[in-house]
Each structure stands twice: as structure tokens, then as C-alpha cells.
A and B are shown apart, each in its own frame.
Chain A
Amino acid sequence: MSISERRSPGRRGPARVVAALLTVPVLLGACAGAGDLGSSGDRTRLTVAIVANPQMEDAMTLSSQFRAANPDIDPVFVSLPENEARAKITASVATGGSEYDIVMISNYETQMWAENGWLVNLQPYIDDNPEYDDADFIPTIRESLSYEGDMYSVPFYGESSFLVYREDLFEEAGLTMPEQPTWTEIAEFASVLDDPANGRSGICLRGLAGWGENLAPLGTVIHTFGGRWFDEEWNAALDSPETAAAVQFYVDLVREHGQPGAATSGYTDCLTRYSQGQTAMWYDATAMVSAVEDPSESLVAGQSGYAPAPVQETDGAGWLYSWSLSIPETSEHKDEAWRFIQWVTDKDYQRLVGEELGWSRVPPGARLSTYEIPEYAEVAGAFAEPTLRALASGDESNPTTLPIPYEGIQFVRIPEFQDLGTRVGQQISAAVAGSVTVEEALEQSQRYAETVGQTYQG
């Protein structure tokens, strides 16, 4: 009774399918070794967790040059969208995980994490390399990345916020952008320029929920209207008249003269709209310029003017933000990690990007010397000065007219803010969508903020 006798011919089909299903992956798997991403041999492998953005894409491309110059080091990148990257990096660093040697964080995390002892103090490394020249970093950015005078992360790029507008449309409508616009003026311009019939909105403002999405522009609006998240005693102040007025203004503006689908549109959506000529104004990060002024991506390159962040009660309103690189205490390759960080944040790297990929792709807002490079000045003529001015004016200690117990312009530098900001952002987003009123949204937000405030009162 052999096996083949027992089998009817019809049974062979499925058997072959099983065999095929199983053997193909076996062969592929065998090639994969232990399924390890890129084996490094005797080189030191650096795992670098980064936020997916065009500037870091460029850095990944150019890292072959770093490898060539440092044959003993092999940087491997983990690139994720902002929310996911932040969640993973925070979880890993907070639990003492050692999977990353370099993490991309921001001026929101740096000081808190330095205080927790989670990050390597980079100042000794910086001081050992005089040519690295940390005095060249933009002062406000440098300060926001320092804890007790020492830098714990170094900026890859920095940004503030400003308002971009279509000069041609302003001219057509007979409007003039003031030197320092107020939000009241911007709302008027938006109502004039709003042209839904031609698929153009007056302004684009982020509505997508998230502390790094709608709460970034809205946060600056709240502060410049004289509102605040907490009073000096850590009492939540989201239902104060100033905050309410600011949120009402923002929601009304975007609902009346903003882009369609505002409640789910974030930075990318506004960028798409503006560069396709579908909105007349846009208030957002200064980092937008590289895409807005790139003729291959943008239909409106060369047609834009840049105004400082609109204000209401304060003198300035621009935010301060920097994607920066740091080394978790748990890294086993701190010296090698520093060598990569130094390479990617040094002056030479800026030149490398300019020469290899084009000067408009130089990561902006980190170093003063970037703005002194003639080739960069040439491509950045329209926005270099507004960017620098916006960055210089960012004041994390006094963003509003009233005293506050926290630091931060478009965020509150406490660990709970990621969560609080996102929950409040969800409420605002719902208000932008019209499913709740602004009062209801703020009432709920106030309750979230009270819970957080209480932990700081005791």
C-alpha cells in the first residue's frame, strides 16, 4: 500500500499548491538570514529614528557620503510619520529601550527628557569640536534645546510660523498686506479673496486634530488673543473669555472662508492647496517655503509674499519649533552616534545639500551661517529675512499678555500635553466640522485641562 496508490490524481493539485506556498517563502527566507534588516558585519550599526519629511529624506540619500567617510559606522534609518515616530520614540526612551542610538525629537521634549536623565549631554562633544561652532545656531532655537545651559539635542532644522499670501491676488483685489497684520485684518482679506466658485478659499488653516496639527496654529492664536492654557496657579483657563474669543475666531474664520474639508486637513493638505493655487493665504510653518517656492511642485512659485504671524493683543505670535537629534542614555554607541549627528548638523552638511541636491533643499532655520551662503541667499531671497525675523522673535517664556506657569508658544511644555493637546485638538476639529459648538468643545477641553492642572497643584 504505497502512498501513490492511495492518492487519487485529483489530490495532487492541492498538494502542489501547499508545496508552492511554503517553498517560495522558504527560499526567500533563507536568503534573509535571520530576517535581519541589512547586516552590518564588523561595522557599528546605528539605528536612527526619524520623522519622515523631505529634509530627512535628503539626509538619508546623502548618508552614503557619511558611510564613505566613516567606514566603521553604518547608520540605519527608521522613518515614520510624525505621530507614529513620536509615539515610538517616546515609548522607547521612557521605558529605557535600547533599540535607537539616535532619536529625532523637538524642543518640546528636549528639556523635559534632559531633566529626566534620558538624554546624553551633548555639550562636552560640542566643546571638543570647536569647528562645530554651536554659537552659530539660531539663539532662540539653541536656548530651547538646552537644559541648564547645556545642549541635549542639536537642531537639524528650525522653524517659526508666518503667513504666506498670493501677491498677485492681493494686487488684483486692491489689497495691501500690512507690515505686521492683525487677525482682524486677515479675516477681512479672507472674506474678500474667498472665491468658492473658482475653487479658491480665502485662507487655509489646519483643522486636523493633533497637538502638532491644528493646535500649532491655533495655539499661537490663543496666546496672541491674550488667552492661556493655565493661570499661575495651574487652574485650567480654556474657558476664559480670551481663549474662547480666540477659538471662536479661528473656527469661524476657517468655516466661513477656509478650505473645504478643513476638519481633516493638516499641513500637507494646506501645502497642496496653496501650491495648487486653491487658497489665497495660508498661516503655517516657515518650513513651507521649500515646497511653495519649488517650481516643479508648485504652480504659484514666485507669486507669494510673506508676512509675520498675525497678532492681536501681543507684539509677536510666531511659534518656535525645531526637529533636532539627540542620543538616548541607553545607546551603546554614543561616540559613533555623535559622529553622525555632528556630520548631519554641521555647516559642511548644509553646503553638501546645496551642492548635491540644490540650495532650496538646505534644511532651514538651524544655523545663522546658512543665511550667509550667497547661493542660498539667491534662492531664499523672498523668505530668508521673514524666516530669520520670525525665528528671532519666538519667546517661549512670555507668549501671551498674562503670566503663565509653563513654557511654550504653540505647546505647553509638560509631558501630559501631547495627550491633552490631542484631546483638545479633537474637540476643536469637531467644532470645525460643525458637529459641536465652540462652547461645547471648550467646555469639554476645560475638563481635560483641569485633570492635568490638578496634578501640578498638589
Chain B
Amino acid sequence: MSTVQTAEGPTPAPASMTPEMKKAVRRTGWVRRAPLMPALIFAILVTQLPFLLTIFYSLQSWNLVRPGSSEFVGLDNYINVFADSTFRGAALRTILITGGCVLIAMLFGVLLAILLDRPFRGRGVVRTLLITPFLVMPVAGALLWKTTIFDPLFGLLNFVLSPFGVDSVAWVSQYPMAAVITALVWQWTPFMMLLVLAGLQSQGKDVLEASATDGANRWQTFRWVTLPHLRRYIELGLLLGSIYVVNTFDTIYMMTQGGPGTSTTNLPFYLYQRAFLGFDVGQAAALGVVTVIGTIIVATVAMRLIFRSFSREDS
């Protein structure tokens, strides 16, 4: 057990160890690593192999619908990617959709969580109602918004707003981005709310009482006690939310097909179109590689920030 203890932690084995000790450490290292291996190997195989294949295809010129067109073209496809203004637009819109959705959903999530944290009649029921949008199949949710809520003729939104002189507004085609983000916010708010609620409920009541006896009012208590406590929950929510929302495909596919024009085309939808509409395998693969690299850069920065905040509080 003691060897195990010394090997623990991120510090590498000191150089002063004898070869036998090193070997022992290495052996126990393998023993402790063994349970990790199946998951790690599985993840590497399933996620990295396709990526390697993508890199290979990205160096080819291959249009599926023109047989015999496959040839090695080096970095030609990449030159086209960087000349592609639609791609840049799609990247920007991905950031806008992800950022907009996640931030607004978090705002609603915090508000709803605070409201739910106080005891009142029917609290369980309201929580049940509130988490439902997260459980609804996104394909169904997007159709629901597009058809029943936003439809210019039969939509409920125009019906509700008709006393105020708003009628036959085609929400999805006039405000496509707002429409898509609204549907996404509706879907993701419950997720944020659950996380923040978990944070609120893990807060020690003694701290709050102490704050109250110190004469702090409710807002001060929230601002200086609760909010710092919630910070990591909020950060985690933003991170997890971003991971999922950045890959949004169903909602765009169902609501706007990326339109009108390309005004709601995000990267996943654009990549899909390049692959299954353009059938230009080489170009689609090059786009994929550039997207992955871009995502890794953005994600690394974001993850480091979040992990640092985690470890800072841990230490």
C-alpha cells in the first residue's frame, strides 16, 4: 500500500530511485492504469481513427458523384477552405448561436433555480414541468417551435400578439437567428437550472444564517455568498452546455435548413451539406479537419480556464 501511496500524485518518480524501485513503480503504475485502459482505448479507436481517415481524405480530390475522380491533391482543399466565405460565416454563426444560447439559458437557469430553491406549494410539480423541455426529443422540439409557435398563419405567437397589432409575422424567416436561439434556449434552460439548483442546494445553510446575522440583506447575501459558491456550477453549466450546443444540428436542420440564405448555417450543418449535398469528399474532409483544429484551440483555452478555476479552489 505504501508504494502505491508514494506513486500517487502528478509528480514523476524521483531520479534517485534504484532501477528495481522504478520497475516496481512502473508495474504498480500499470496495475492502477489497467482499469482505465478499456475506456481509453475505446475512445481513442472510435474518435481518433475517423479523424485520421478524415485527414487522409482531405488530401484527396474525390467527388462521390463523379466516379474515377479520386486523386491526391495535397493541400489544395485547404486553400479552398480558407477562401470560402461561407465557412467563415458559419464559424462565426456557430459562436453566436452557442454563446447566445448558453448565456441566455444560464441567465434563465439561475433565475428559475433561485425561484425553485424556496419552499412553496407544488414545488416538485413546477420542477417537473420545468425540466421537460430538456427531455423532449430535439427533433420534435424544433418542429414544435417552427410549426405551432412561429408559423406566420397558424402559429400561437402571432395569435397571442395579434391584440398588439402584430400579425402574420414570419418569425423563422424574418428573425431566423432569434428563432433558432429561442428554441435552443428553451431546450437548454432546464439543464442549466438543474445544475444551478444542485449548487444552491449544496450550499450550507449555516453560511447563509451567518450572513443574515451579520446584517446583510438578501441581495448582499446572494451577491457575496451565494454567487461565489455557484460560480463553479455556472462554469460547469456553461462548459457542458457549450459542448453540446456547438454541435447543434437537429434544430437547424428542422427549423431553417440553414436559411434563409445561409443566415443560420452553423458549422455542423455546413459540414453536413458539404458532405451530403456537395458530395465533395475531399473538401468536406478538409473543412472537417480545419473545424476540429479550430475547436481544439478554442476548447483548450476554455478548458484550461475552467480547470484552473477548479484546481485553484481545490488547493
In the assembled complex, B226 has its CB within 8 A of some CB on chain A: no
In the assembled complex, B258 has its CB within 8 A of some CB on chain A: yes
Instruction: Determine the main DSSP class of B at the interface with A.
Output: loop
Question: Is there an interface contact between A91 and B64, defined as CB atoms closer than 8 Å?
Answer: yes
- State in angstroms the CA–CA spacing of A90 and B263 once bound together: 26
Question: Is there an interface contact between B261 and A261, defined as CB atoms closer than 8 Å?
Answer: no
Residues 61-85 of B at the A interface (beta carbon under 8 Å): 63-67
Residues of B within 8 A of A278 (CB): 153
The 8 A CB mask of B147-158 against A (1 = contact, 0 = none) is 000001100000
Residues of A within 8 A of B278 (CB): 418-419
Q: How far is the CB of B138 from chain A (nearest CB, A)?
A: 16
Q: Which residue of the partner chain, among B66, B174, B259, contacts A209 with CB atoms under 8 Å?
A: B259
Residues 232-290 of B at the A interface (beta carbon under 8 Å): 256-263, 273, 276-280
Q: How far is the CB of B157 from chain A (nearest CB, A)?
A: 13
Question: Is there an interface contact between A430 and B263, defined as CB atoms closer than 8 Å?
Answer: yes
- State in angstroms the CA–CA spacing of A11 and B240 once bound together: 28
In the assembled complex, A432 has its CB within 8 A of some CB on chain B: yes
Pick from B165-173, B187-195, B204-212 the stretch touching chain A.
B165-173
Q: Which residue of the partner chain, among B66, B258, B260, B277, contacts A433 with CB atoms under 8 Å?
A: B260
Residues 170-208 of B at the A interface (beta carbon under 8 Å): 170, 172-174, 176
Residues of A within 8 A of B67 (CB): 94, 116-117
Residues 119-138 of B at the A interface (beta carbon under 8 Å): none
Question: Is there an interface contact between B277 and A426, defined as CB atoms closer than 8 Å?
Answer: no
Question: Is there an interface contact between B261 and A430, defined as CB atoms closer than 8 Å?
Answer: yes
Using known A-B contacts A276-B153, A278-B153, A415-B279, determine if residue A264 contacts B258 with beta carbons closer than 8 Å: no
**Closest residue on chain B to residue A421 by CB atoms:** B277
Question: Is there an interface contact between A263 and B260, defined as CB atoms closer than 8 Å?
Answer: yes
Q: How far is the CB of B232 from chain A (nearest CB, A)?
A: 24
Q: Which residue of the partner chain, among B168, B170, B258, B280, contacts A426 with CB atoms under 8 Å?
A: B258
Question: Is there an interface contact between A429 and B172, defined as CB atoms closer than 8 Å?
Answer: no
- Name, among B152, B258, B273, the residue most crowded by chain A CB atoms within 10 Å (CB to CB): B152
Question: Is there an interface contact between B168 and A429, defined as CB atoms closer than 8 Å?
Answer: no
Question: Is there an interface contact between B279 and A94, defined as CB atoms closer than 8 Å?
Answer: yes
**Closest residue on chain A to residue B86 by CB atoms:** A423
Q: Which residue of the partner chain, among A83, A90, A116, A426, contacts B261 with CB atoms under 8 Å?
A: A426
Residues of B within 8 A of A416 (CB): 63, 65
Using known A-B contacts A264-B256, A264-B260, determine if residue A199 contacts B168 with beta carbons closer than 8 Å: yes
**Closest residue on chain B to residue A420 by CB atoms:** B278
Question: Is there an interface contact between A436 and B64, defined as CB atoms closer than 8 Å?
Answer: no
Question: Is there an interface contact between B259 and A426, defined as CB atoms closer than 8 Å?
Answer: yes
Residues of B within 8 A of A90 (CB): 64-65, 276, 279
**Closest residue on chain A to residue B259 by CB atoms:** A209
The 8 A CB mask of B80-118 against A (1 = contact, 0 = none) is 000000100000000000000000000000000000000
Question: Is there an interface contact between A94 and B152, defined as CB atoms closer than 8 Å?
Answer: no
- Name, among B169, B278, B279, the residue most crowded by chain A CB atoms within 10 Å (CB to CB): B279
In the assembled complex, A273 has its CB within 8 A of some CB on chain B: yes
Question: Is there an interface contact between B174 and A94, defined as CB atoms closer than 8 Å?
Answer: no
Residues of A within 8 A of B168 (CB): 199, 260
Q: Which residue of the partner chain, among B86, B173, B261, contacts A262 with CB atoms under 8 Å?
A: B173
Question: Is there an interface contact between B173 and A261, defined as CB atoms closer than 8 Å?
Answer: yes
Chain A residues in contact with chain B, CB under 8 A? 83, 87-88, 90-91, 94-95, 112, 116-117, 199, 207-210, 260-265, 272-273, 276, 278, 415-416, 418-419, 422-423, 426-427, 429-433, 435-436
Known A209-B261, A278-B153, A415-B66; 14 more pairs at CB < 8 Å: A91-B64, A94-B64, A94-B65, A199-B153, A208-B260, A264-B260, A265-B173, A415-B63, A416-B63, A418-B65, A423-B86, A429-B261, A433-B173, A433-B263
What 8 A-B pairs are tightest by C-beta distance, nearest first? A261-B170, A430-B261, A263-B260, A264-B173, A415-B65, A87-B276, A419-B278, A433-B260
List 18 interface pairs A-B (beta carbons < 8 Å), by A numbering: A94-B64, A94-B65, A94-B67, A199-B153, A199-B168, A207-B173, A208-B257, A209-B257, A209-B258, A261-B152, A261-B174, A263-B260, A272-B153, A422-B277, A426-B259, A429-B260, A430-B259, A433-B261
